[in-house]
Chain A
């Protein structure tokens, strides 16, 4: 199971990665393995403002619907529309093609509260 070092993690199994002035958000490999094959991602509208720990979107497998919480407050500046046709991207490549949104306007201080790859790895016991 992968835990890329260039990402930061939450205890709710989301990851974030900084890309210029944007923050990319997705769910971890552990999260997708627990959920099973995803069949639908209810993507948020671009421009939506989300608070820290606010509901960013819902991902669905055949048996579960799970909220994805926003690791840091920000505004959705871009979303991964490829997930509409192929939600399995999250299962196959959770840290790259399976990204969910990019956030803008994220305060740097917020990122400090997130977990390192090492700590997250310990959390999920892998």
Chain B
């Protein structure tokens, strides 16, 4: 039914596009270079046509059999048409009043946050803050986030977000194993205890991870936890999924007797009025910061948090912001302790997390800045009053409330076999209740609820009451928080949470931070492997439509009709683009896509009683996340060598595949390679693996070079992930949100992720990878809009221009910076690696000096020293005009000339504009300028900088000082 209806829409749109407004002009808005510029770039390369360039780049053997046609988007729509059509799709969703709870709560996004952060390219277009000097704004917002989490949880250290509460709990389990193994020594059996009262999706995500790692999960009531020598940790929830608040101290004391770590999943709003887990002995505290001003969004994106004891900081997953100092000795923020992370630890990492939920963590921290400690407490008290009034109305009306101590959620006994009927009847009135058992419903209150909602839900349960009576009940509400668990410790006392409560002050604070970050709104961000392309405004608009934002992920199936239609459009399109059969939109980051794909492969082998297949071959050139994901999926990593041209060494691959032919599970391979080359041998590599019973996982990080030209499903891969935040226009948000759906061949489709609460099919699937059934569903409209407005032709054209632009840059810069790897015809794929090692021998200039000097020229550096030390990896994408590419090329050429001046002695070896970069206004206009080069050269090295200057907020940051003296809260900043 649904499918037929949608086909009508497709046809209608196609007709409209043809007769109404003509062809979509959006591809010309999305693609930077115009026709003349494209011709000029082709000519520069000495080629006649774009097709000639592409034919030289991509081996004929891996080209798509047929041009890309998107069956869901046969004709590209204009921006206007696409928005109209998506509005129609969105209107099929039903927005109801949710009392479902379970980790997702309605909340109020302060409009000043919605417009100036969530809807602001000055906040959403940045990449992860690796170039910290031009990222001080969001680093400060993230430091606020860490401080907020530490305060509310009562823990000593917190990271700057994880993907969702379920994965945070799974990360806690992995960290517990690492910590206890170190303390107790290796043990062959691991057991993890989980309370039977955690959210079902949290338990299921933990169970998926545990299965792959060979950890036994035992689910019981926390009072029955049996701690043995094999127990590595336990997980409880506070308040639990049924709303009950249990004291934690006794459990923590008992666990610590046997060296077991206690993880507490919790809720930040509840902690505003509850004794924090940290004060009761918890070792790890996780949860979601969603209800701090982030819409439910049908499951995401939201920021999860992860806090722990100081002693475990080096085992903690995720990115951690720390305070260091800059070259002038002023406080400056940066990513700390990066050696914990997968990109350095590779298979020794306990976590594969990279992209997290920065934009949402920023929003949550700003919600705390905006409301302050008093405001947050007031919201929490109000929610508790409503809940408490509801409980007393129930009791007065003869309904039994199961809870004795609760914050915002209660379970009501409504008589045997009545629960579903009551929930259905309520749903008809627009009220969503949780069916806990056949005789119980769960009711959760939140910030967005008021007296009318209280009256409505009470009436829905058959209580005879009035608005006046509800009012009286709220006014006279007693506290159901046990005296011993009433919060006495202050929180959010730092001035930042107490200064900006008028909207004028708040707005200026937000704008102050924004001005410290270089975003795509200022200049290109040519980060290799990151695909920083246009995030068009029309693509972003639907994200904040309430039809997408206000849905609870566990709302009844008929409420999500619009979402399902959009999912089908996306799944079909992604399958057509990759040449695969099945798709799962659940993984909410590329790392999770890798992990999902590998557990799917694992499940496939197990389904064939092929129990021994655990070896994962990974080329040396792979991103560090690959080996980390493989280990998480229960595999053992065997590294494959690369040859002198940077390609996977097929001889070594074959030898290793043969050596492990009975135990070979998979090959993980990035295509085109991380070296920016379409390797000729990819088909052969796939054959080598398949002929020995293995599966091929393709890392889709570089899919922007494939769309429309080559399909992994056709050249031999079995499964791949797709970074929607790279190739399909979801903005990077300064380090998240991302989405990492996977597509796979038919034989793997049955094993795609499923979900314990929402039936999404795949009965024999691997379990859930993410807490929400469709991951971060509310940002999927971005990719939908992009595909709808580009169509198959537009997407293919974008790929070609991305490849052309990379080759243009490589060509223009090769005299100054040799291009490290090229394909057989001398061309690169969609990115190029510039070798800067000569600069070090000639002039003592490190690649980092060039990266920092680029800031003075108004640019964000390309990827530094990855995948090869001493290099810059440049990925221009299709969205940058030739004018912008030329400006970037000029900047790098001018910097090369500056290096020349060091060589010929015109510049000092140390006191030169490269080593001293970036230059802040405070340094440049200081009365004590005593450098042997001019202030003008320092700050305005290129003509365009005089007209439009981005000033780095701080000078070069001392990373060593920061890692040796770790401070991760606002207290370390001067007030």
Contacts and interface: CB of A to CB of B under 8 A. Distances in A.
B963 A42 contact: no
A40 B345 CA distance: 15
A78 interface: no
A84 to B, nearest CB: 11
B314 A62 contact: no
Given A40-B314, A42-B314, A62 B963 contact: yes
Interface string B955-975: 000011011100000000000
B339 interface: yes
Given A42-B314, A60-B339, A65 B963 contact: no
Contacts of A42: 314
B964 A87 contact: yes
Contacts of A60: 339, 963
Contacts of A37: 960
Interface in A31-75: 36-37, 39-40, 42, 60-65
B345 A65 contact: yes
Nearest to B959: A62
A126 B599 CA distance: 48
B344 A64 contact: yes
Given A40-B314, A42-B314, A63 B338 contact: yes
A42 B315 CA distance: 12
Interface in B319-370: 338-339, 344-345, 348
A64 B959 CA distance: 13
Nearest to B324: A62
Given A40-B314, A42-B314, A63 B964 contact: no
Contacts of B345: 65
Contacts of A40: 314, 339, 963-964
A63 B314 contact: no
A87 B339 CA distance: 15
A56 to B, nearest CB: 14
Contacts of B338: 62-63
Nearest to B349: A65
B631 to A, nearest CB: 15
B960 A63 contact: no
A76 B463 CA distance: 71
- Dominant SS among interface residues on chain B: helix
Nearest to A87: B964
Contacts of A63: 338-339, 344
Interface in B922-975: 959-960, 962-964
A47 B339 CA distance: 27
A42 B339 CA distance: 12
Contacts of B960: 36-37, 39, 61-62
A10 B308 CA distance: 38
A64 B963 CA distance: 12
Nearest to B336: A62
Nearest to A55: B348
B127 to A, nearest CB: 18
Interface string A85-111: 001100000000000000000000000
A113 B314 CA distance: 35
Nearest to A67: B348
A65 B339 contact: yes
Contacts of B959: 62
Nearest to B340: A65
A1 B767 CA distance: 56
Nearest to B183: A45
Contacts of B344: 63-65
A36 B344 CA distance: 15
A60 B966 CA distance: 14
Nearest to B348: A65
A30 B322 CA distance: 30
B964 A39 contact: yes
Contacts of B314: 40, 42
A42 B311 CA distance: 12
Contacts of A64: 339, 344
A30 B962 CA distance: 24
Contact of A61 (B339, B348, B962): B339
A77 B625 CA distance: 37
A39 to B, nearest CB: 4
A88 to B, nearest CB: 8
A70 to B, nearest CB: 17
A42 B345 CA distance: 14
Contacts of A88: 964
Nearest to B335: A62
A87 B964 CA distance: 8
A39 B961 CA distance: 8
Nearest to B960: A37
A65 B959 CA distance: 15
A64 B341 CA distance: 10
A125 to B, nearest CB: 14
A98 B344 CA distance: 24
A62 B965 CA distance: 12
B541 to A, nearest CB: 40
A61 B344 CA distance: 11
B703 to A, nearest CB: 28
A29 B45 CA distance: 47
A39 B962 CA distance: 9
B914 to A, nearest CB: 18
Contacts of B964: 39-40, 87-88
Nearest to A86: B964
A37 B348 CA distance: 22
A64 B338 CA distance: 8
A65 B962 CA distance: 16
A64 to B, nearest CB: 6
A40 B314 CA distance: 10
A126 to B, nearest CB: 16
Nearest to A37: B960
The 3 tightest CB contacts between A and B, nearest first, are A39-B963, A65-B339, A37-B960
21 contacts: A36-B960, A37-B960, A39-B960, A39-B963, A39-B964, A40-B339, A40-B963, A40-B964, A60-B339, A61-B339, A61-B960, A62-B338, A62-B960, A62-B962, A63-B338, A63-B339, A64-B344, A65-B344, A65-B345, A87-B964, A88-B964
Interface of B: 314, 338-339, 344-345, 348, 959-960, 962-964
Given A62-B960, A65-B339, 9 more contacts: A36-B960, A39-B963, A40-B964, A42-B314, A61-B339, A62-B963, A64-B344, A65-B348, A87-B964
